[in-house]
Amino acid sequence: MKILILSLLRIGDVIMAAPALRGLRDRYPQARIHLVVNSQFTGIAPLLPYIDRVIPFERERLQKGLGDASVPVFESYARLESFIDSLNAENYDVAINLTHNRLSAWMMSLIEAKAKTGLSFDAQGRVSFGSNWFRYLNYQVDSEGPEVFHFSDVFRFALDLDGERENTLDSALIESASGRREADPVLNETGSRNIIAVQPLTSDRKKDWGVQNFSAAIELMAKRFPEATFVVLGAPFEKEKLLPFVDRLRAKTIQARLAVVSLEGAFSLLKSSRILLTGDTSIKHLACAAGTRVVEICVGSSDPYRTGAYRHGSVIVRTRETCAPCPHSGACHRESHACAERVPAEAVALVAGEVYEGRMFQLRAIAEEYADYIDVLRVESRVSGYWAAYSVLETLTEESLARWLDLTCRKLWFMGMGSQTGGMVPLGTEVVRLSRLLRVIHPWVSAIEWRHFFADMERDLRSAEARINGFKVGLEYLKGCYEDPRRMREFVRGLIAFRDRIRHVPLMRSFKDGLDSVIEDDVSPAFTRFRRIMSLVAEIERRTEIYLRLLRGLAGQFPVPHGKKRMEKL
Amino acid sequence: MIELVTARNGKSVLKKDGKLLASVFDPLREAAAWADKVQSEFGADESIIVLGLGSGYHVEELSARCSDRAIYVVEKDVEIAERVFELCGGIRRDRVIVEPDWIRLADLPVFQEALGGVYRIAPHGPSYQIDPEYYGAVDRLLRGRDKLSFLLLMKTRPEFLPLLDAEAVNAIGDEAISIKTISRLFSARAVGSRQRRIWQLLEELVV
């Protein structure tokens, strides 16, 4: 079997896909697996020895050929055509697109594989996803807030890889001999087992916390941990910027060293580091794959919920500025880089200290102290079956509970509980996982409190269920007269009222987007609109059913002790 | 008028209208330096189109170094070509395109063959100096970035012709030909074609 995978964004995206890649190799040990990446990232190949071939896509060269008037006008066309022909000569059985953009979708349309999954255009440019998860990725790109899955999870769920081994970046990359050789001089020089790796620069100025902030945090940490050595990581083009930074640290008698190494060398260095202190960078993902806990500083356009450090035990320090996360494109619209300025170095140093020492019980106190400036998020990925980042100050409310219920519901929905036949989906497994996650987030909440929450939410869902049944009856009636604008308007008024009602029900707010799009659609032909409404009502019905089953399952996971049950009855 | 002169190293060198077409001191060393430059600039997977046969030594040197690559030469003067074939045995005659009228180049099968894949342009300085108008026009033709050159170049791409909208082609203005220009040329017939999809992929690179 021959499998082709496209990962045509940045190196961080390639690393985030590594659990899925390794999962594919585990599932298909005899398959030939080829991976297409942008040519400047082929340095990842030695860390992915289970990938048979890493194929460079000469994106920059093609762009140059298009933009440079001195280059023959058909050169980029000829190069691309030759590239596509070389791919098709391989006769792939499966092509998988882990990139979510139009460029990759057109490439998929040109690749002649027996089966395709991921965003793809057909010859006429009509889109297909091949999986609910890739369709979800399309929706998720535009949505805001924490009710989203991490990209690493989306990739592996889309490929039906949900095992324990795949639920982690650990061992998704394999250390190379040359990386080790590159790292050894640095490790020998530091002679220290207490390495704190630091990457102060990101690829986007908006995501930079600032070298002066890093410097201040390192100074504080050095005082607390005099045995630690700070290894500052950077690419060759960053050397000029980082040398003065390291020199200033050394001038303050801090044990600091600059390590300008390749991806392989950085991976080896990170494997020997206790923690990595960084912004939103690809090195963060590398550290996660190296098994190193990460303290990630999220400012600017960094979005922790989609691309946060995928390593259990990592901590994300997120600015509380309301303008963050900002869009990737476009410069900062404020006079100063407020989101970065208002993340105190002291707070970061304290958080990093906790992670360095491998204990987290002070995180809550730190988060409370600096609550006006930052959110402190803990990463949990061992019990939940998906990556989860929760605020250490998170209190149990319907709102906070709804987030986790919604994520699990979506997972079950995409796994097949949304289909008419229902399929064999591990509802019980997901209930157990969710209950474990809730216990981790709220360890002090009693079983009775949990049960009260579940009961209240179940009550809201039951009344919504009645309303949904009403819609279904209404739809039967509308079937024969959807072309009548008056009847359609009447029906839509009912949807508007339903939408207004669920606004106050946290668990049902996720239906709002679907309702909005159907209610506000006054351009589609009547039949199309009718079909969309039918599809939406069916989805709301099924997801409500999943929520109810989850809540009942969860209630079973939080049994009330016998004596207290009697008290409840009183 | 074409003359033959003897260089200091004993090699024969051509002269046209009093202008030398290679070094009168050491044409082989000059040819090696030229070939060094060409080799350093071009990738392994590209064919090379040399503008000007000169006295042939530079083409012979490059051909010896790049035996795995397709090397074509465009030469204006028939007499120069005949003299060079006598001087240099290491040049493939079937890849020398002799055509005094550059506009007719696009009609020649061997020229179309030369433009079949990715090609790079390697001008020969002395040939350029003797006839800058001709070789300048060929250079522009090969790049295809002005309207006339582009339309002539399209003759070497017959697979595109049925996909283009005639009105849009006629409406091409004087601006430099870019991917935006090309995207506007496709007709509704082109939707779904492989060629159109490749261009659509390229368009995403400049969005």
Q: Where in chain B are the domains? A: 27-143, 159-205
Euclidean distance between CA atoms B75 and B109, whole angstroms: 15
Q: Is A111 helix (H, G, I), strand (E, B) or coil?
A: coil
Whether A563 has a pLDDT exceeding 70, the answer reads no
Whether A541 has a pLDDT exceeding 50, the answer reads yes
pLDDT digits (tens, 9 = 90+) for A327-356: 877 777 787 788 888 899 999 999 999 999
Percent of chain A with pLDDT over 70: 95
Among positive and negative, which fits the CA dihedral A220, A225, A229, A233?
negative
Whether A208 has a pLDDT exceeding 70, the answer reads yes
Contacts of A72 in chain B (CB under 8 A): 119, 121, 142-144
Cβ contact, residue pair B205, A62, below 8 Å? yes
Euclidean distance between CA atoms A170 and A285, whole angstroms: 10
User: Which of A:38-77 have CB within 8 Å of B?
Assistant: 59, 62-63, 66-67, 69-77
Cβ-based neighbour number of residue B190 at 10 Å: 18
Distances from the Cα of A95 to the Cα of A202, A370, B3, B204, angstroms: 32, 48, 63, 20
Closest chain A C-alpha to B82 CA, distance in angstroms? 30
Whether A564 has a pLDDT exceeding 70, the answer reads no
ipTM of the complex: 0.93
Q: Is B147 helix (H, G, I), strand (E, B) or coil?
A: helix
Distances from the Cα of A563 to the Cα of A447, A554, A559, A568, A569, angstroms: 13, 20, 12, 9, 10
Pairing of strands A127-128, A120-121: antiparallel
Domains of chain A: 2-158 (3.40.50.2000), 177-391 (3.40.50.2000), 395-570 (no CATH)
pTM of the entire predicted model? 0.91
**A373 band by pLDDT with thresholds 50, 70 and 90:** very high
Return contacts of A101-106, CB within 8 angstroms, 24+ apart.
A101/A8, A101/A9, A101/B204, A102/B204, A102/B207, A103/A8, A103/B201, A103/B204, A103/B205, A104/A6, A104/A8, A106/B197, A106/B200, A106/B201, A106/B204
The token pair at B200 is 């659509």
pLDDT digits (tens, 9 = 90+) for B80-112: 999 999 888 888 999 999 999 999 999 999 999
B182 inside 8 A of chain A by CB: yes
Contacts of A81 in chain B (CB under 8 A): 198
pLDDT digits (tens, 9 = 90+) for B14-41: 999 889 999 999 999 999 999 999 998 8
Closest CB to B144: pick one of A59, A72, A101.
Answer: A72
Exposure of A118 in the CB half-sphere (CA atoms within 13 A) = 28
For residues A498-525, average pLDDT: 85
Rounded to the nearest 10 degrees, what angle do helices A398-412 and A526-557 cross at? 110
Least-confidence region, from A151-160, A291-300, A462-471: A462-471
Largest CA distance in chain A: 87
User: Which of B:115-134 have CB within 8 Å of A?
Assistant: 115, 117-119, 121
Whether B134 has a pLDDT exceeding 50, the answer reads yes
Strand partners, A374: A319
Euclidean distance between CA atoms A533 and A515, whole angstroms: 9
User: Which of B:29-48 have CB within 8 Å of A?
Assistant: 45
Cβ contact, residue pair B197, A123, below 8 Å? yes
Contacts of A87 in chain B (CB under 8 A): none
**A485 band by pLDDT with thresholds 50, 70 and 90:** confident
Cβ contact, residue pair A73, B117, below 8 Å? no
Contacts of B117 in chain A (CB under 8 A): 78, 82
For residues A419-443, average pLDDT: 82
Q: Are A532 and A521 in contact (CB under 8 A)?
A: yes
Euclidean distance between CA atoms A237 and A40, whole angstroms: 14
For residues A197-222, average pLDDT: 94
Residue in chain A lying closest to B149 (CA): A73
- According to the CATH classification, is domain B27-143 in 3.40.50.2020? no
Contacts of B199 in chain A (CB under 8 A): 77
For residues B128-142, average pLDDT: 95
Closest chain B C-alpha to A89 CA, distance in angstroms? 16
B179 inside 8 A of chain A by CB: yes
